C-alpha cells in the first residue's frame, strides 16, 4: 500500500467506512494540548488514533474496556544513551516499556566511539522489531576530545550527514561548548547540516553562563540536559533553549530543578524529562520516565504539567508532534493506562494500538538480535596488566599532586591538590585521606598508552575497582589502593571483553561482563541487574560509600565536564582543554 492509499484508508476508518483495529473504551484522557482531562473512547486504525469521541460507535476487531482508567500519551525519554543502561535495545524493552516509556531519543555516541558508523549500524539492526519507538540523535563528537584521548573510532561530517538522512534520525546529538566557543569548523558544519534538514542540534552546555551561553545559543544549540541548579535552568530558558530535566544513576538533578520550578511558578512548556545514564538496577528499583513524572508531582508540580513534560513537550521540541506525544487523531496510538494522575503507575501500555505490556510485564518477549562477533572483541590492551605499569615515580619523601575529587550524585568534579607519601621513589596512595591511584588504560588496540593520576571520593580502603565504560573514549578506568589489584582488574576486563570488576588481595571479588562493545551485556535484565548489584556490593565491601560507584567512575574520564577528566593520555583540565601535569612538587 503506497502512502496515499494508506492515508485514504485511515480517513475512511475515521469516517466509519472501515472497521477499526481497536477501540479502548471508557477512558479519562489526558488532553495535553488543553491541559485537561476528558471522557473518551479511543479509536485506532493502522497504528494511529482515528477518534477520541465519547460513545464512539464503530465496528472494531478488538475492544479493550479501560473501566474509567486514565489514558496518558506514551512517555518519551528525550535524551538517553542506551549503552549506559548496560543492556541491548531489545533487552532494555523488558524494564522500560512496562513502565510506560514508548519512545527513546537516543544518542549512540558510546558505541560510536568504540566502533564508529559500522558499529552504530550493527547496534541498531533490530530497531524495527522493538516494542517501543527508537529515534536517533546523531552523534556529533566522535571522538569527543581529539588530541586529548584515544577513542576506538571517528565519525566525520560525511558520516554524520549520512546518519542525519536516516528516517529515524531526529536531531544532531549533544555538542559540548568547546566545539562552539573555539569555532570548530567541523562541528559547526554538523550543526548547519542538521538545521538544513530542519532538525534541532542538541546541547551540552554544562557550566556556561553570560556571553558564553549566549554564543552557544547563537550557534544554534537548542537545549541542555546538564543543568544542576535552578539558576542554570532559568538562564537557558532565557536565551531560548529548552531544558531536559535529568535523573540518572549518578546525575540526580530532578529534585533541585523541579523544586525551583514549583517555587517560581515557572512556565513548563519548554521543559521535558530524560534519564541520560541510568543503570538497570536503578530503573528496576525506581522506574524510568515514570519515576521522573511521579517524583515531579510529589514535589508539587501539577500532574498535567508533569505529564506534558513526559510527553508533548519533547515531541514539540523535536518536531515530532504530528506523530507522538499526544492521544489525538492522526497521532500514533501510544497509550498508557493508569489508575491515578497523581501516581501514574502503568497498568497497560499500547504502542501503535498494540498491547505491549500489562501489569508490569511485557505481553510478548522480544527476540534477541544476533550481533556480529567483531562487536564483541573490542577490548585489546597492551599495558596495565602488570603492577609496575601503575608506578608513579617521584623524588623526595612527599609529593604534591593534582587529584580529581568527585561530587556525589553529580557528574561534575573538582580539581584539587593532595600531598602523598613517597616510598622507594614511588608516590603512594593514601586511603586515610581518601586519595587513591587512578589510571586510564587504552583498550582499543591502537596506541597502548596509559596514564596514572589520583582521585578523591571513592573511599576505597583496600583493593581496586575498574570498568571499560569511560565516557567518551571508553578506555579502561581503574581506581585503587594497590597496584597489583589494579593490574588484576585490567586483566580480568581484557579476558571478559569488558565490564565492571572489583578485586582485593590478589582475588577478583566480583565481575559483571559487558562484552558487546565493552559496554553492554546481551543477558536478560534480571541477570545484569543481579551482576551489577553484586559488583556494587563488592565495591562497598572495599569501603566505597557511593550508591553508583561504576557510573561515577565512568564519568570521571569526561573531558567536557568541569573541572577535570582522565584519559589514556593524561589528566585533562576541562577549563583550559589541555593536558596538565599530575605531579606539582616534591619535598
Nearest to 464 by CA among 438, 426, 498, 497: 438
Residue 560 has pLDDT above 90, yes or no: no
Residue 250 has pLDDT above 90, yes or no: no
According to DSSP H, which parts of 477-579 are helical? 483-496, 525-541, 549-555
Residue 409 has pLDDT above 80, yes or no: no
Assigned C-alpha cell, 280: 538497570
**Which pLDDT belongs to residue 452?**
98
Residue 327 CA to chain centroid, in angstroms? 26
What does the pLDDT average to over 538-565? 93
**Which pLDDT belongs to residue 507?**
98
Residue 380 has pLDDT above 80, yes or no: yes
**Which pLDDT belongs to residue 151?**
96
Confidence band (pLDDT; 50, 70, 90) for 562?
confident
Q: Which is more confident, 411 or 46?
A: 46
**Which pLDDT belongs to residue 217?**
98
- Give the mean pLDDT of the chain: 96
Nearest to 567 by CA among 487, 458, 449, 488: 449
**Residue % of the chain over a pLDDT of 70:** 100
**Which pLDDT belongs to residue 559?**
85
**pLDDT tens profile 225-234:** 999 999 999 9
Residue 242 CA to chain centroid, in angstroms? 18
What does the pLDDT average to over 285-311? 97
Radius of gyration of the chain (CA): 25
Confidence band (pLDDT; 50, 70, 90) for 73?
very high
**Which pLDDT belongs to residue 411?**
79
Residue 545 has pLDDT above 90, yes or no: yes
Kindly state the helix (H) or strand (E) to which residue 358 belongs, with its residue range: strand 354-358
**Which pLDDT belongs to residue 324?**
98
**pLDDT tens profile 186-241:** 999 999 999 999 999 999 998 899 999 999 999 999 999 999 999 999 999 999 99
Tell me 49's DSSP state: E
Residue 337 backbone phi and psi in degrees, to 5: -100, 130
Contact criterion met (CB below 8 Å) for 135 and 172: no
Residue 91 has pLDDT above 80, yes or no: yes
**Which pLDDT belongs to residue 275?**
97
**Which pLDDT belongs to residue 351?**
98
**Which pLDDT belongs to residue 331?**
98
Domains of the chain: 74-322 (3.20.20.140), 374-586 (no CATH)
**Which pLDDT belongs to residue 531?**
96
What does the pLDDT average to over 421-444? 97
Q: Which is more confident, 79 or 558?
A: 79
Q: What is the dihedral of CA 139, 141, 112, 324, to 10 degrees?
A: -10
Confidence band (pLDDT; 50, 70, 90) for 558?
confident
Distance CA 195, CA 188 (A): 11
Residues in the chain: 587
**Which pLDDT belongs to residue 459?**
97
**Which pLDDT belongs to residue 550?**
95
Assigned C-alpha cell, 286: 525506581
What does the pLDDT average to over 481-507? 98
What does the pLDDT average to over 47-65? 96
- The residues, ordered by sequence, that sit 6+ positions from 302 with a Cβ below 8 Å of its Cβ are none
Instruction: Give me the residues paired with residue 29 across strands.
Output: 38, 71
What does the pLDDT average to over 433-444? 98
**Which pLDDT belongs to residue 431?**
96
What does the pLDDT average to over 294-319? 98
Strand ranges in 378-467 using DSSP code E only, listed in sequence order: 398-406, 413-423, 426-427, 435-441, 450-456, 464-467
Confidence band (pLDDT; 50, 70, 90) for 74?
very high
Amino acid at each position: 500500500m503506497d502512502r496515499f492509499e494508506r492515508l485514504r484508508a485511515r480517513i475512511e476508518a475515521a469516517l466509519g467506512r472501515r472497521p477499526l483495529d481497536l477501540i479502548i473504551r471508557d477512558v479519562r484522557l489526558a488532553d495535553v494540548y488543553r491541559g485537561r482531562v476528558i471522557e473518551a473512547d479511543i479509536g485506532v486504525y493502522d497504528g494511529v488514533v482515528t477518534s477520541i469521541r465519547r460513545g464512539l460507535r464503530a465496528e472494531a476487531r478488538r475492544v479493550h474496556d479501560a473501566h474509567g482508567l486514565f489514558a496518558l500519551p506514551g512517555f518519551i525519554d528525550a535524551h538517553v544513551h542506551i549503552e549506559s543502561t548496560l543492556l541491548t535495545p531489545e533487552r532494555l524493552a523488558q524494564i522500560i516499556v512496562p513502565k510506560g516509556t514508548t519512545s527513546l531519543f537516543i544518542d549512540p555516541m558510546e558505541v560510536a566511539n568504540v566502533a564508529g558508523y559500522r558499529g552504530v549500524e550493527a547496534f541498531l539492526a533490530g530497531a524495527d522489531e522493538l516494542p517501543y519507538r527508537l529515534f536517533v540523535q546523531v552523534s556529533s563528537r566522535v571522538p569527543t576530545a581529539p588530541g586529548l584521548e584515544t577513542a576506538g573510532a571517528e565519525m566525520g561530517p560525511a558520516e554524520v550527514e549520512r546518519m542525519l538522512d536516516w528516517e529515524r534520525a531526529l536531531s544532531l546529538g549533544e555538542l559540548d561548548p568547546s566545539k562552539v566557543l573555539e569555532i570548530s569548523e567541523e562541528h559547526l558544519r554538523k550543526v548547519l547540516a542538521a538545521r538544513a534538514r530542519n532538525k534541532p542540534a542538541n546541547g551540552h552546555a554544562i557550566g556556561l553562563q553570560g556571553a558564553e551561553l549566549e554564543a552557544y545559543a547563537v550557534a544554534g544549540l537548542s537545549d541542555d540536559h546538564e543543568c544542576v541548579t535552578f539558576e542554570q535552568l532559568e538562564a537557558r530558558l532565557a536565551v531560548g533553549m529548552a531544558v531536559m530535566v535529568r535523573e540518572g544513576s549518578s546525575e540526580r538533578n530532578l529534585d533541585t530543578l523541579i523544586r525551583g520550578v514549583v517555587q517560581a511558578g515557572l512556565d513548563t512548556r519548554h521543559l521535558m524529562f530524560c534519564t541520560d545514564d541510568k543503570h538497570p538496577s536503578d530503573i528496576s528499583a525506581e522506574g524510568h520516565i515514570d519515576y521522573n513524572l511521579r517524583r515531579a508531582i510529589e514535589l508539587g508540580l501539577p500532574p498535567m504539567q508533569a505529564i506534558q513534560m513526559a510527553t508533548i513537550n519533547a515531541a514539540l521540541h523535536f518536531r515530532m508532534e504530528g506523530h507522538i506525544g499526544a492521544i489525538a487523531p492522526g497521532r500514533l496510538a501510544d497509550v498508557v493506562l493508569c489508575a491515578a494522575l497523581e501516581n501514574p503507575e502503568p497498568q497497560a501500555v499500547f504502542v501503535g494500538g498494540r498491547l505491549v505490556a500489562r501489569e508490569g510485564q511485557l505481553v510478548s518477549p522480544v527476540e534477541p538480535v544476533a550481533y556480529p562477533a567483531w562487536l564483541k572483541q573490542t577490548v585489546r590492551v597492551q599495558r596495565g596488566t602488570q603492577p609496575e605499569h601503575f608506578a608513579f615515580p617521584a623524588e623526595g619523601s612527599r609529593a604534591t599532586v593534582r587529584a580529581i575529587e568527585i561530587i556525589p550524585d553529580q557528574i561534575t568534579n573538582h580539581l584539587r591538590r593532595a600531598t602523598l607519601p613517597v616510598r622507594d621513589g614511588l608516590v603512594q596512595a593514601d586511603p586515610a585521606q581518601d586519595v587513591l591511584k587512578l589510571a586510564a588504560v587504552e583498550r582499543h588496540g591502537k596506541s597502548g598508552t596509559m596514564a596514572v593520576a589520583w582521585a578523591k571520593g571513592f573511599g576505597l580502603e583496600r583493593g581496586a575497582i575498574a570498568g571499560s565504560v569511560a565516557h567518551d573514549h571508553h578506555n579502561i578506568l581503574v581506581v585503587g589502593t594497590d597496584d597489583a589489584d589494579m593490574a588484576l582488574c585490567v586483566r580480568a576486563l581484557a579476558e571478559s571483553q569488558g565490564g565492571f570488576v572489583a578485586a582485593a588481595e590478589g582475588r577478583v571479588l566480583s565481575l559483571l561482563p559487558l562484552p558487546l562493545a565493552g559496554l553492554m551485556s546481551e543477558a536478560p535484565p534480571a541477570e545484569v541487574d543481579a551482576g551489577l548489584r553484586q559488583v556494587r556490593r563488592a565495591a562497598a565491601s572495599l569501603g566505597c560509600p557511593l550508591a553508583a560507584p561504576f557510573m561515577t567512575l565512568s564519568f570521571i574520564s569526561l573531558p567536557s565536564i568541569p573541572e577535570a577528566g582522565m584519559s589514556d593520555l593524561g589528566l585533562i583540565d576541562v577549563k583550559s582543554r589541555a593536558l596538565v601535569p599530575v605531579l606539582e612538587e616534591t619535598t
